[in-house]
Amino acid sequence: MDIAGEKTLRPEHTEGPKAQQLVEEAIRHGSVDERILKHSHDADEALKAFAGHEGQVIEIDEATNKALLRKIDWNLIPIMCVVYGLNYLDKTTLSYASVMGIKNDIHIDAGQYSWLGSMFYFGYLGFEYPTNRLLQRLPLGKYSAFNIMMWGLVLSCFAAVENYGGAVTIRFFLGVFEAAVTPGFALLTSQWYTKSEQGTRTGIWFSFNGWAQIFGGLVAYGIAKGVEHHGAAIAPWKIVFLVTGLLTFAMGVIFWFVVPDNQMNARWLKPEERLLAIERIRVNQQGVGNKHWKMYQLREALTDPLSWAFFLYALVGDIPNGGISNFFSLLIQSFGFTADESLLWGTPGGVVEIVTLIVCLHLGDRYNNRILISGSCLLISILGMALIIGLPKSNPNGRLGGYYLTQAQATPFVALLSLVSTNVSGYTKKTTVAAMYLIGYCVGNIIGPQTFRGTNYVPAEITIICCWGFNIFDLLFIYFYCKYQNKKKAAIRARPDYVKLENQEFLDLTDRENPEFTYRV
CA distances 83 to 79, 215, 275, 383, Å, are: 6, 13, 28, 31
Other residues' Cβ atoms within 10 Å of the Cβ of residue 499: 20
d(CA 392, CA 338) in angstroms, rounded, equals 18
User: What is the pLDDT confidence band of residue 26, given thresholds at 50, 70 and 90?
Assistant: very low
pLDDT tens, 330-343?
788 888 888 777 77
pLDDT higher than 50, residue 388: yes
8-state DSSP, 57: P
Predicted local distance difference test score (pLDDT) of residue 43: 56
User: What is the pLDDT confidence band of residue 460, given thresholds at 50, 70 and 90?
Assistant: confident
Predicted local distance difference test score (pLDDT) of residue 44: 56
User: What is the pLDDT confidence band of residue 1, given thresholds at 50, 70 and 90?
Assistant: very low
pLDDT tens, 76-133?
999 999 999 988 887 777 777 776 778 888 888 877 887 887 788 888 888 988 998 8
pLDDT higher than 70, residue 444: yes
For the chain, count helices (H), then strands (E). Answer: 22, 0
d(CA 91, CA 240) in angstroms, rounded, equals 12
pLDDT higher than 70, residue 22: no
What average pLDDT score do residues 21-47 get?
48
d(CA 425, CA 430) in angstroms, rounded, equals 6
pLDDT tens, 167-197?
899 999 999 999 999 889 988 998 899 888 8
Q: Which residues contact 242 (CB under 8 A, 6 or more apart)?
A: 156, 159
Report the percent of the chain where pLDDT is more than 70.
84
- Give burial (CB, 10 Å; 0-12/13-18/19+) of 329: buried
pLDDT tens, 488-513?
999 988 888 887 776 666 677 888 88
What average pLDDT score do residues 377-403 get?
92
**Exposure pattern of 131-153 as b/e (b: 16+ CB <10 Å)?**
bbebbbebbbbebbbbbbbbbbe
pLDDT higher than 60, residue 27: no
Among 3-7, 75-79, 371-375, the least confident range: 3-7
Q: CA torsion sign, 59 to 63 to 68 to 70?
A: positive
Other residues' Cβ atoms within 10 Å of the Cβ of residue 34: 11
Please report the domains of the chain, with CATH numbers, ordered by start residue.
Answer: 62-490 (1.20.1250.20)
Among 97-101, 243-247, 433-437, the least confident range: 97-101
Other residues' Cβ atoms within 10 Å of the Cβ of residue 383: 14
